[in-house]
Amino acid sequence: MTLADPKTADDLIKDGSDAGFMDDVIAQSKIQPVIVDFWATWCGPCRTLTPALEKQVRAAGGAVKLVKIDVDANPAYAGQLRVQSIPTVYAFLDGQPVDGFQGAVPESQIKAFIEKLSGGAGVNTDVEQLLTLGEESLALEDFGGAAQAFAHVLTMEPDNQKAIAGMARVYLAGGDADQARQTIAMAPADSTEPSVVSVRAQLALASTAPTGETAALTARIAADPADHQARYDLSLAQAAEGDLKGAATSLLDIVAADREWNDQAARKQLLVVFEAAGLSSDIARDGRRRLSSILFA
């Protein structure tokens, strides 16, 4: 399965020049607003402002473009626009400068600047729509479509944890646990985002599971229903294959038969399965309900 690269750069941001100014800024601004960032390599505040500009332009989801111009290498248009200190930012619309500011301003001000320039075109809606599309595509096993949706979000918001988890789930569905592990590592180690927690739990289950033994374990249980170790191993194999409902059922059967077996190993493993399925999922809700009825019967 070939997936879109979540780190692929789009064409919203580019390094400009005096030679390309008419095409990159003037002509493009007749199609959509273009922000021009005049900077220099020796400029300390530029190192703060430019990354913040790039982040907010990506977050605007295509509503604006950014052209970065090094004034030392390209002094002509900076001179025409009377750029006297850097960083200086100009916004162009319909071929004309319409707004601007100087200095490394707070990110909230950059966001407001872009929203004003783009007429308040919001990205959050676009991001949410793409995340929903990704989830729907995953549910339909359209892994290519899911990958494209999540990757698009990551071009706008590289640290979006739901999109990171979505890409990791696509890799997991394709059987590429190593790539899923590398992808989910993009999220903070202490993340409490449910989708990130879920993926990490799935990877933890997959790493301990006896693969390809489902049939043999099922046969052992059929021969001896009290073989709790076989049933426990079956739950691990089921989880590794993505059958979290089956894994939960196997573990609940152990708890129902002997809740103290192996220092309550089945009950502890159930919590991992619930995390992997998602704590608000039907599997987790139904499993907790059945577990409560077993424990408090």
User: Catalytic residues, which ones?
Assistant: 43, 46
Backbone angles phi, psi at 211, to 5 degrees: -80, 150
CA dihedral 154, 192, 174, 266 (to 10 degrees): 180
CB 171 within 8 A of CB 203: no
Chain centre to alpha carbon of residue 281? 20
Residue the block writes with tokens 């290498």: 73
Backbone angles phi, psi at 51, to 5 degrees: -60, -35
Please give the single-letter amino acid code of residue 68. K
CB 4 within 8 A of CB 171: no
DSSP, res 187? S
Cα(270)–Cα(284) distance, rounded to whole angstroms?
9
- What is the three-class DSSP state of 211? coil
Cis peptide before 225 (omega within 30 of 0): no
- What is the three-class DSSP state of 207? helix
Task: For 36-48, give one letter per residue: b (16+ CB within 10 A) or e.
Answer: bbbbeeebeebee
Give every strand in the sheet of 13-15, ordered side by side. 13-15, 65-70, 34-39, 88-93, 96-102
- What is the three-class DSSP state of 71? coil
Q: Angle of helix 228-240 relative to helix 214-223, nearest 10 degrees?
A: 150
